[in-house]
Amino acid sequence: MAVENSEVFLGSGASLTFVPEVDFYFQPATTSQTSIQLHQTYAIQFQLVTNMYVGCTLDWYDNGVYTSSHTITANDNDTFTISPATANPVVTADDSFILRGYGAPCPAPTSSNDASGRIRLHADNWLGLVESASFPNVEVEMKQMNLQLGGSRNFTHQYKGIETASGGNINLVANHVTWLYYFLGKCYSISFASGVNSAQHPDNYHTGTAAHSLYIHGTSSTSHIDTGPFAHRVIDPNNSDDHLVPPINNILYSSPNVDFDSVTYPATDSTLVTYEFREANNSELPSFALEQSISKLGTNPLRTDTDNDGREDLNFVRVARGNRVNSMTLTANENEEVKMTMDLNTRAVNTLDKAQTVGYDSRGGQTDERSLFNFTSDEGHLEPFFFSGGTIEAFGETLMKITNFTLTMNNNLMDKRFIGVSDKGIKSALPGQRSYEISLTALVTDDKLFTELLNNDENNETTESLKLVFKKNSDLESFTLEFDDYFLSSNSWTIPDDKGPVTVEATLMPRTLTSCTTTTHWILQG
């Protein structure tokens, strides 16, 4: 007799949170040449989600010297299976590994400081003012064959081919624009007006001090890194032990007090951070994961569990990992907030269920959404950028009477699959030609936009750069995008039948983004 499932998942129990994907440093324990086990120091703190890291890269360092790279073909809660095998046995005392960030959601400390703790990802992070989002869907290629066998008009064999995760999309009302980092690829600098304490630093590479909840890399030193992790959070899951997430890579940083500073969190108006982003021209773009949980909001709403009869799942969790930003639009229309839209290229989608070892806590165990990292109750910080807070400069002057504009940016990511990954759902996304386009509508005040259409010389930094500036929160928070090497590529003029204002619709085509800066309350984890 079939078992009846009765309780339905509702949208009220749905949640979408951000998981950073950053290089994760650890030292090994017992190991063979085909399996690498986390040292107990890490294994107790950070248990792994089963097979979450298939297809990811594991780099081996022997005494701090890079030795070889390996693909993860399977993992359980504390051990990676790799291919190819290491050339020599790994020595626990002086070897170390780095799990590279692409497609590798950052683990978080378990709910208890022992092997019985429920497993968590570093998923207690707010996305911002999300208007709508589409979680990536998995499409499975179906193959049907006849095998040259008669006797029926039906197919004689069918099987499943490759799996592709696609369709991920996030639409935001922009109360911050640090998402631009994920499109451009490089965080060139980080600075603070105040709130940085270079005298305070992590106690060691694995634990922090509860009095200082956040450390930023390279604010008071020259050792800043371009691609993260930038922020290391101190997390105490059971009020007994503090853990740095992610652990600091002591291969690269031998003096934490030099390379790391404690930072005031949450930010105040006097402790805002300024980032400068730049274009990355290599094959690697930063990535992030998304955790979607749909809960029936029972006693333990965040846990992957079943009811007392073992019939029904109480929390359904999926993780879309390896999300790179394929295209991004920034839009400001008359009388509206500034909005951002990101179309994602997703590496794979994993489903978490009740079979996961000791169980899994979604959202990093945070039941109160107001406790998510980067969530703010400060009205000024929560406020979005508005159309009215922006200016646009082009052709050596400030363009007046603009009623709307859209900046479209495209990385033109290309899907690639490689031999030896051991999973039909794993792919990689490589950047192609990067492009920018700005379209705007303005009321006509002069003939500038017409004469520029006939100009055969590119506008650039030495003449007239193209600059977008937006401010909010009494001008304390802002962002600036500056482009060089641009043409006005088209325009059209309208004379309305109602005898109202004459308008022009214009398109500008820049080749290069020379500067992108933002001052914000938001902590970029990388």
Question: Tell me, what CATH number does 54's domain have?
Answer: 2.40.10
For residue 118, CA distances in Å to 310, 335, 359, 468 come to 19, 47, 5, 46
pLDDT at 447: 76
Bin 87: left if φ > 0, else alpha if -120 < ψ < 50, else beta: alpha
User: Quick one: pLDDT at residue 404?
Assistant: 92
- Tens of pLDDT, residue by residue over 221-266, are 556 778 888 899 988 766 666 788 998 887 777 666 677 888 888 8
Mean pLDDT, residues 98-113: 90
pLDDT of residue 262: 85
The two structure tokens encoding residue 486 = 């641009």
For residue 216, report the phi and psi dihedrals to the nearest 5 degrees.
-115, 140
Q: Tell me what percent of the residues of the chain surpass a pLDDT of 70.
A: 90
Instruction: Confirm whether 259 is domain-assigned.
Output: no
Identify whether 42 is part of a domain.
yes
Which of these three, 101, 116, 139, is where a domain ends? 101
Q: For residue 42, how many other CB atoms are within 10 A of its CB?
A: 22
Peptide bond into 266 cis (omega under 30): yes
What's the pLDDT at 446?
Answer: 77
Q: What is the pLDDT of residues 390-401, one digit of tens each?
A: 999 988 888 878
Average pLDDT for 56-71 = 92
Question: What is the torsion angle, in degrees rounded to the nearest 10, for the CA atoms of residue 274, residue 177, residue 125 and residue 26?
Answer: -60
CA angle 331, 333, 339 (to 5 degrees): 35
Q: Decide: helix, strand or coil at residue 479.
A: strand
Q: How many domains does the chain have?
A: 2
DSSP track, 425-478: T--EEE----EEEEEEEEE-SSSHHHHGGG--SPB-TTT--EEEEEEETTTTEE
- Boundary-marking domain end, from 62, 86, 101: 101
One-letter amino acid of 51: N
pLDDT band at 522 (very low <50, low <70, confident <90, very high): very high
Neighbours of 235 (CB within 10 A): 22
161-165, 167-171, 422-426: which has the highest mean pLDDT?
Answer: 167-171
- Tell me, what CATH number does 435's domain have? 2.30.110.20
pLDDT of residue 513: 95
DSSP 8-class letter at 12:
G
Cα torsion 296, 302, 308, 310 to 10°: value is 90
Q: Which residues contact 490 (CB under 8 A, 6 or more apart)?
A: 453, 506, 507
- Of 58, 84, 101, which closes a domain? 101
For residue 346, the tally of other CB atoms under 10 A from its CB is 26
Distance CA 179, CA 329 (A): 11
Q: How confident is the model at residue 112 (pLDDT cuts 50, 70, 90)?
A: confident
Q: Is residue 188 part of a domain?
A: no
Q: What is the pLDDT of residue 357?
A: 55
Range of the domain at 397: 387-422+429-520
Confidence grade of residue 151 (pLDDT, cut at 50, 70, 90): confident
In a domain, 67, yes or no: yes
**Cα separation of 19 and 229, whole Å?**
12
Q: Please indicate, yes or no, if residue 240 is contained in any of the structural domains.
A: no
Looking only at the bridges linking them, the beta strands covering 196-197 and 260-263 are antiparallel
Asked whether the bond before 229 is cis by omega within 30 degrees of 0, the reply is yes
Q: What residues have CB less than 8 Å from 154, skipping those under 6 apart?
A: none
Tell me the backbone φ, ψ of residue 126, rounded to 5 degrees.
-75, 140
Q: How many CB atoms lie within 10 A of CB 198?
A: 14
Query: What average pLDDT does range 120-141 have in this prediction?
Result: 94
Evaluate if residue 109 carries a pLDDT over 70: yes
The reply to whether 455 falls in a domain is yes
Measured from the Cβ of residue 305, the count of other Cβ atoms closer than 10 Å reads 20
Q: Please report, in angstroms and rounded to a whole number, the separation of the first and last CA atoms in the chain.
A: 51
Which whole number is the average pLDDT over 300-313?
70
Distance CA 315, CA 366 (A): 14
pLDDT tens for residues 196-226? 787 777 777 666 666 678 888 876 655 677 8
Residue 269 lies in a domain: no
Average pLDDT, the chain: 86
* 153-162, 187-196, 253-262, 429-438: segment of lowest average pLDDT: 253-262
Contact 57, 84 (CB under 8 A): no
pLDDT score, position 1: 47
Tell whether 261 is covered by a domain.
no
